[in-house]
């Protein structure tokens, strides 16, 4: 995540450890919510009947990462 964050900010340095969610993490989480219908942390019960295929939300947003 830190490498991608650096790339998205023009190759600048990134302080480690990351103290907050990166833009990429937020986009992946939003896509996960949209794709599967629930938040994996805040509302795991909403995912009990979700269908998890081979294409993940991460691939949709980040590609190979």
pLDDT (tens digit, 0 to 9) for every residue of the chain, 65 residues total?
888 889 888 998 999 999 999 988 999 899 999 989 999 889 889 999 998 888 788 878 887 65
Which secondary-structure segment (H or E) carries 31?
helix 23-36
Structural domain of 35: 21-65
* The pLDDT of residue 65: 55
Query: Is residue 15 a part of any domain in this protein?
Result: no
* The pLDDT of residue 54: 81
Query: Is residue 14 a part of any domain in this protein?
Result: no
Query: Is residue 12 a part of any domain in this protein?
Result: no
Query: Is residue 42 a part of any domain in this protein?
Result: yes
| CA–CA separation, 38 and 30 (whole Å) | 9
Query: Is residue 34 a part of any domain in this protein?
Result: yes
Total domain count, the chain:
1
Which secondary-structure segment (H or E) carries 4?
helix 2-8
| CA–CA separation, 50 and 36 (whole Å) | 6
Query: Is residue 60 a part of any domain in this protein?
Result: yes
């Amino acid at each position: 995540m830190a490498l991608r964050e650096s790339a998205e900010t023009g190759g600048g340095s990134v302080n480690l450890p990351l103290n907050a969610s990166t833009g990429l993490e937020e986009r992946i989480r939003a896509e996960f919510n949209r794709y599967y219908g629930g938040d994996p942390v805040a509302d795991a019960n909403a995912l009990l009947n979700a269908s998890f295929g081979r294409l993940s939300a991460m691939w949709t947003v980040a590609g190979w990462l």
